[in-house]
Amino acid sequence: MNSWLLIKYLATAAVVVAVSEFARRNDRLGGLIAALPLVTLLTLIWLQLEQQPMDKIANHARYTFWYVLPTLPMFLLFPALLARLGFWPALLLSAVFAVLCFVAFAALMRRFGVELL
């Protein structure tokens, strides 16, 4: 494994660990930090440092925007299901719901000329 790839893995893992540690200590602060597009920002930085074309970097940001929108309802459904079903079933159903929302959203956006699938 080359050192650049190792640096990418370690930096990205550090972000995930930091978010989970903040969330463990403070619900609101953890939620705020998790809502920040840290992984996307890192990805944009990695793409720039790897000298990817500007259109590739711009497309990544653009598609991230479109892909986030239909996943947002999952974050309302999960807490509603959590007390009733427990963690794993609530997480699974919420993830399935997010996928269904995404498929429906992609079909809707196709009508406006935005290809997501």
Q: What type of residue is 12? A: T
Same domain (yes/no): 71, 30: no
Question: For the segment 35-70, what is each residue's pLDDT rounded down to a tens digit?
Answer: 888 888 989 999 999 999 999 999 999 999 999 999
Q: Is residue 10 part of a domain?
A: yes
Same domain, 46 and 72: no
> pLDDT confidence of 88, banded at 50, 70, 90?
very high
Residue 13 CA to its chain's centroid (Å):
14
Asked if pLDDT for residue 29 goes beyond 70, the answer is yes
Same domain, 70 and 116: yes
How many residues does this entry show for the chain?
117
* Range of weakest confidence among 20-29, 68-77, 91-100: 20-29
Q: Which pLDDT band, with edges at 50, 70 and 90, does 1 fall under?
A: low
**What distance in Å separates the CA atoms of residue 108 and residue 44, rounded to the nearest whole number?**
27
Is residue 38 assigned to a domain? yes
Residue 4 lies in a domain: yes
Task: For residue 64, count CB atoms less than 10 angstroms from its CB and return exposed for 0-12, middle for 13-18, buried for 19 or more.
Answer: middle
- Using a 10 angstrom Cβ sphere, with 0-12 exposed, 13-18 middle and 19 or more buried, the burial of residue 73 is middle
More confident residue, 80 or 27: 80
**What range does the domain containing 15 cover?**
1-52
Residue at a domain's end among 31, 52, 73: 52
What confidence score (pLDDT) does residue 16 get?
86
What is the overall mean pLDDT for the chain? Answer: 92
Residue 60: inside a domain: no
Interval 14-26: pLDDT, tens: 888 988 998 899 9
57 within some domain: no
How many folded domains does the chain comprise? 2
Q: Report CA dihedral (27, 38, 58, 114) to the nearest 10 degrees.
A: -30
Q: In the chain, count of helices (H) and strands (E)?
A: 6, 0
